Amino acid sequence: MPRVLLVEDDLSVREGVELGLRRRGHQVLAAATGEAGLDALPGFRPDLLLLDLMLPAMSGVQVCCRVRESSQLPIIMLTARGDDVDIVVGLEAGADDYIVKPARTQVIEARIRAVLRRFEGPTEAAPAVEQHGELGIDRAGYTVLKSGAPVALAPSELKLLLCLSAVPGQVFSRQRLLEEVWEHSYYSDVRLVDACVRRLRAKIEDPSDVPRYVQTLRGLGYRFGPL
């Protein structure tokens, strides 16, 4: 079962989430502050970070930025209702998904599994490396190269790129991307998609007013290419 590092300052929430996940077989290490969570990362080596957005001293956004400096560890933010601005900032900082508190253990576990599935390789055979201009996509190895150099992508960024590039030129609506990348068939927050697109572009596109790879079709959605 996945190892989860939980960083949550509210004792009742922390104990409730920790107990619920442990009962379902997860190994869970809980921390009350961002500093304690960062300190625990090297030794615990979690499969996923479950991170409260509103933490004392060091905020969840700051923790997310620190983690993203050196790791593509899957991150799910826990947030209270009404934190819309902070949610967007957290997504821009590199979080893969977010959950609004309070949430049932079943919901949290489902989101954990959905994020971790983005690391799973494709089920069908694919060419070793697909070359799209300067961008190389290795679907079997789940790696991306730009001008021959590896590009570090978070799980949602990688899954989004794989989804779009599988059918170059095809337009994907934001809702369809939510369903295919985030597995939120019941969920309609397109901020997840737009924030992920911006992060992905920052890593694979050259500075330009006109994106070369991930293109926007106003009112319709996004497409990969044509190059």
pLDDT one-digit tens code per residue, 211-222: 889 999 988 999
Range in 16-20, 122-126, 135-139, 149-153 the model is least confident about: 122-126
Query: What is the spatial distance between Cα 134 and Cα 146, in angstroms, rounded to a whole number?
Result: 6
Under CATH, what is the fold of the domain 3-117? Rossmann fold (3.40.50)
Q: State the Rg of the chain over Cα.
A: 18
> Does the pLDDT at position 48 exceed 90?
yes
Q: Phi and psi for 168 in degrees, rounded to 5?
A: -55, 135
Q: Is the pTM of this model over 0.85?
A: no
- What is the overall mean pLDDT for the chain? 88
Residue 123 pLDDT: 47
Report the percent of the chain where pLDDT is more than 90: 54
Kindly report, residue by residue over 73-120, the tens digit of the pLDDT. Answer: 999 999 886 567 778 888 888 899 988 888 899 989 988 988 888 766
The hierarchical CATH code for the domain 130-224 is 1.10.10.10
What pLDDT is attached to residue 81? Answer: 66
Q: What is the mean pLDDT of residues 37-54?
A: 94
**pLDDT tens string 190-214:** 888 999 999 999 999 987 678 889 9
**DSSP-derived pairing of the beta strands 149-150 and 143-146:** antiparallel
How do residues 172-194 score in pLDDT, each as one tens digit? 999 899 888 888 765 567 888 99
**Domain residue ranges of the chain, discontinuous segments joined by +:** 3-117, 130-224
Are the C-beta atoms of 27 and 115 separated by less than 8 Å? no
